[in-house]
Structure 1
Amino acid sequence: MSLDKHPARVFANWALLVVLGLNLRPLLSSISPLLLEIRHDTGMSFQSSAWLTSLPVICMGLVALLGVRLQAGLGERRGVALGLSMILGACLWRLSADQAETLMATALLGGAGVALIQVLVPALIKRQFAQRVALALGVYSASLMAGGGLAALVSPLVAGHFGHWQAGLGIWLAPALVALVLWGLLPFASGARTAGEPAMRPWRNRRAWLLALYFGLVNCGYMSMVAWLPAYYLQMGWSAAQSGSLLAFMTIFQVLAALVMPALAHRSTDRRPLLAVSLGAQALGYSGLVMWPLESPYVWVALIGFGLGACFALSLILTLDHCRKPSEAAQLAGFVQGAGFLVNAVSPWLTGWLRELTGSFVTAWWVLVVAVVAMLLLTRIFSPQSNIRCGGIIQAAA
């Protein structure tokens, strides 16, 4: 039995995938439940505080677009280690943050670290879990979302215990440190593009741009929810702990969807029915937030969480359907995530701007409904035959 197929090594690979995912969202979701205290102490407006979510997402986009060069220059082992170190450093810095500029700097530092890891994970999955790509993407997506929900739940509790919001933000250096140690002890097998293998140029291909736009818009609601859902209910009189728990509740359904929907996707090559169900759930949830926010908040949040969790995993699977090799997965997924996250970054900023302009989040939720319905109509073009054909075109253009 080879080392890679040894049960202990297989378990270690899965465990490491989960630990990596857990570290990729606390930087974002720990902010919103503590937003009132942060704004009070730093003097930030709604629109300026939106940058604490938008800046990391912009970093995710820009770093992802450089993914192929970073992978070649750093390698997977050093690249992931650097990303975890940057997240750890950002959380450590937040323990002493007391100014808006400092928080912005930590958002940039940690966001770059998150982005670096996200660029490398699809290729790791495509190679390390070659026979279970859909399942591995589901586990990765679920752990990523679980980390976000856990941060929303735990951060206000930690902040309340220690008496200052900095503790609620900085506590997330602990899982980053654990992941960094585990990565050093149990790294995935590294892979590199072989000499003479051409680099893809997805920015020259219409289908690659369409995948990037699709990834960005079907997932942009997550960034708005992470940034503003607790704030929405804080304005209705909920406490920080209650509003944070609402985001954590949403995460439960994200995790369930991220595990169940890719498992269902594994049974068919047609992603469109599952994507349609997922986008429909999002549309219903956002509409409920507008029309009946206090009557059934947990129903709307559950629908949103289910839709977002499924869409993140399924849109990644859809992207990998256009690839044949791990190196192609790294290049196309890097481009799709890069451009897609830049689209995502507009969402929390736009929501904050609309809140400042109208005095309410309602308009922003309607914008999300329109975006989701538009993507629901677009989903029909991603037939299995079209994915294979256009995947070949992307690779031929390399």
Structure 2
Amino acid sequence: MREQARSTLLLLLVVVMALNLRPILTSIGPLLEAIRQSTGIGYQQAALLTALPVLCMGLVPLLQPWLRRWVSEQGAMLAGLAAIALACAWRLTLDSAAALIASAALAGLGVACIQALMPGLVNRWFPHRLAMAMGVYSAALMSGGGAAAVLGPRVAEQFSHWQAGLGIWLLPALLAFAVWAWVRPQLEAAVGGAGASGHLFGSRRAWLLAVYFGLINGGYTSMVAWLPAYYQQVGGSAQGGGELVGLMTVFQVAGALGLPLLLRRLVDRRPGLWLALTVQLAGFVGLLLAPAIAGLWVALIGFGLGACFSLSLTLTLEHLKAPASAGALAAFVQGVGFIITGIVPYVTGWLRDVSGDFQASWLLLSVTVLLMLLVTWRFAPSGYAQAMGMPLIRESDARAGMAPH
């Protein structure tokens, strides 16, 4: 019973931390027109409000093998929370495009510090229930994003300031600080264990996993960045655009939590990924061929994106048995992957500018998903060990202070 209570507390901490990792992205889109009218920010600059945090999510994990020499896991998590809280508090008062972009960078650094560590910690805390725990983590992460998209415009309208719709997400950060203080005794007992040193830049499988993660999740940043604009372009409202992102999030949560649980007895993650990618592909093709029923296609895209995020991280962690080495691999995959994910909305936005509508953007995302369906064949569980013959030192060597070969 005592072990069950400890696991419950740690899972609660996972949830409240994850809730803080997406509002900085999803709160922008529904309020973009109000922000542009107030600050004069252009569309190209506005893209930085999404792209900068995502690029931070990519760069910080790549530096993790060196950063951990100076910052502990708990220190990095608390610093990340503090950066998110400070950025949200700043957004309550700022009134310029430059300050808004700077707050996006600060919040992105905070998210990156937390997000780089969470998969490894989840793997360490829940080694026998990894698929379930990653599903809960992914669902909470996406729920925070959906709540920000839906509630941000309402809060802004209530207070007659768009700044309130962005800054209100200070509250989940304060909640996470409170839960952290409550769970800390259990955390100190659970976090121990040295992280793997060395890096994975020489591993072909690590690069494949990273590119795969980045491309199958590139649809998320594109949808967050451009779905509200697409909806307003076809005659909808800002609130309606936010609600469409909220609808996508509901199905993301269902996909992130439901599909891994449904397939938890399968050792092979490929059937789940094939299903999730096929559903996602159907959604993008639907936007191309029948945009009048966008709600249905957005729901399918959301389900596919949610399941892909959870399953691809689980797939990554399962490539290595040692928790610290698996966490290092997950950090690398997220690092490179989120750089790719951050570039995708720039490309889809450029396609919208040159073509005059979003059809070319949806076509590009459809082709990308189709390619990833084919790449998924490579991830047979029987090939994990051979594929991960790489210059990452063993945990026993890391504890002994040995350098990588």
* TM bracket, shorter-chain basis: over 0.9
Task: Give the whole-Å Cα distance in 2 for the aligned partners of 1:74 and 1:389.
Answer: 33
Task: Give the whole-Å Cα distance in 2 for the aligned partners of 1:270 and 1:258.
Answer: 17
Which residue does the alignment assign to 1:379?
376
The 3-state SS of whatever aligns with 1:51 is: helix
Task: Give the whole-Å Cα distance in 2 for the aligned partners of 1:394 and 1:218.
Answer: 26
Letter in 1 for 2:75: R
The 3-state SS of whatever aligns with 2:41 is: coil
Letter in 2 for 1:30: S
Deviation, 1:71, is 3.4
Whether the 8 Å CA contact 1:219–1:312 is kept in 2: the answer is yes
The CA deviation string for residues 258-287 of structure 1, in whole angstroms up to 9 with x for no partner, is: 111222342111111111111111111111
Deviation, 1:46, is 2.1
Which residue does the alignment assign to 2:290?
292
Which residue does the alignment assign to 1:28?
25
Which residue does the alignment assign to 2:105?
108
The TM-score normalised by the length of structure 1 is 0.95
Whether the 8 Å CA contact 1:50–1:349 is kept in 2: the answer is yes
The CA deviation string for residues 282-326 of structure 1, in whole angstroms up to 9 with x for no partner, is: 1111111122222x1221011100000000001101111111112
Whether the 8 Å CA contact 1:68–1:334 is kept in 2: the answer is no
The 3-state SS of whatever aligns with 1:363 is: helix
Matched, 1:310 2:311: no
The 3-state SS of whatever aligns with 2:217 is: helix
Deviation, 1:393, is 4.2
Task: Give the whole-Å Cα distance in 2 for the aligned partners of 1:265 and 1:388.
Answer: 22
Task: Give the whole-Å Cα distance in 1 for the aligned partners of 2:354 and 2:46.
Answer: 15
The 3-state SS of whatever aligns with 1:204 is: coil
Matched, 1:271 2:269: yes
Task: Give the whole-Å Cα distance in 2 for the aligned partners of 1:260 and 1:213.
Answer: 25
The TM-score normalised by the length of structure 2 is 0.93
Deviation, 1:391, is 2.7
Task: Give the whole-Å Cα distance in 1 for the aligned partners of 2:101 and 2:133.
Answer: 33
Letter in 1 for 2:203: N
Task: Give the whole-Å Cα distance in 2 for the aligned partners of 1:357 and 1:38.
Answer: 24
The 3-state SS of whatever aligns with 1:186 is: helix
Which residue does the alignment assign to 2:238?
240
Shifted more, 359-368 versus 22-31: the winner is 359-368
The percent of aligned pairs where both chains have the same amino acid is 51
Task: Give the whole-Å Cα distance in 2 for the aligned partners of 1:191 and 1:276.
Answer: 36
Which residue does the alignment assign to 1:354?
351
Deviation, 1:105, is 0.4
Stretches of structure 2 that go unaligned for 5 or more consecutive residues are: 394-403
Whether the 8 Å CA contact 2:18–2:137 is kept in 1: the answer is yes
The 3-state SS of whatever aligns with 1:202 is: coil
Letter in 1 for 2:13: L
Matched, 1:190 2:191: yes
Which residue does the alignment assign to 1:167?
164
Task: Give the whole-Å Cα distance in 2 for the aligned partners of 1:201 and 1:71.
Answer: 12
Which residue does the alignment assign to 1:199?
197
Letter in 1 for 2:191: S
Specify which of 206, 209, 215 is matched with residue 208 of structure 1.
Answer: 206
Matched, 1:323 2:317: no
Task: Give the whole-Å Cα distance in 1 for the aligned partners of 2:138 and 2:249.
Answer: 11
Deviation, 1:394, is 5.8
RMSD: 1.6
Whether the 8 Å CA contact 1:354–1:361 is kept in 2: the answer is yes
Which residue does the alignment assign to 2:12?
15
User: Which portions of structure 1, spanning 4 or more consecutive aligned residues, are displaced by more than 6 angstroms?
Assistant: none
Task: Give the whole-Å Cα distance in 1 for the aligned partners of 2:348 and 2:199.
Answer: 33
Shifted more, 242-251 versus 257-266: the winner is 257-266
Which residue does the alignment assign to 2:259?
261
The 3-state SS of whatever aligns with 2:192 is: coil
